Amino acid sequence: MAISSVGTHQPSTSTTPPLSVAAKQKTELNASILAATEANLSAKDQPLALVLRATIDKLNTILEADLGPNTIESGIESGLDVSPDATAERIVSLATAAFPAFQEANPDESGEELLAHFIDVIGGGIKQGFSEAQDILQGLGVLEGNIASDIERTFELVQEKLDAFQQEFSGEKGVQ
């Protein structure tokens, strides 16, 4: 709406180009991430909860085609431990819990090929979730100091835990 010289609202004559599909999806994802965290989540006090939320949402989106909607639990409970180690453990635990279903949904793959594909899929979702959460926190002006270092540490721990998961299944137990 444009304001005329006499102070009344009139429809704006300028047109903005429509958003691309990707831009719309990103905008919708960002809105859903923020909505999902509800009013009790303060980005300054619990930024890793936002990282967890964004990562879980991205994993759910990526895995939906193979495993159906909401494969990974998407709720964040109040009082949740959002330390780097606890957040990394939840991310990896929730993501890797989908491995049996992923294995069943991809019967043409087996062994190391299946495991590598799974790690690529969830790893990409995790990276994208972290990136989007960092973008949100940067936009809120809170991605600095302990918040930034906690997020970096959480991501490092997630990578370590994913490596351990992959080694456990490929080395000790094998993948069928």
pLDDT band at 147 (very low <50, low <70, confident <90, very high): confident
Question: What does the pLDDT look like over 93-110, one tens digit per residue?
Answer: 989 999 999 999 999 999
Per the listing, tokens 């930024």 go with 47
3-class SS of residue 40: coil
Q: Any idea where the domains of the chain sit in the sequence?
A: 40-173
Stretch 3-24: mean pLDDT, rounded? 46
- In angstroms, the Cα distances linking 174 to 103, 105, 113, 115, 160 are 13, 18, 12, 10, 19
pLDDT value, residue 29: 53
Q: Which of 3-12, 97-106, 156-165 has the lowest mean pLDDT?
A: 3-12
pTM exceeds 0.85 for this model? no
How far is Cα 43 from Cα 17, in angstroms, rounded to an integer?
32
Question: What does the pLDDT look like over 48-67, one tens digit per residue?
Answer: 677 777 777 777 777 677 66
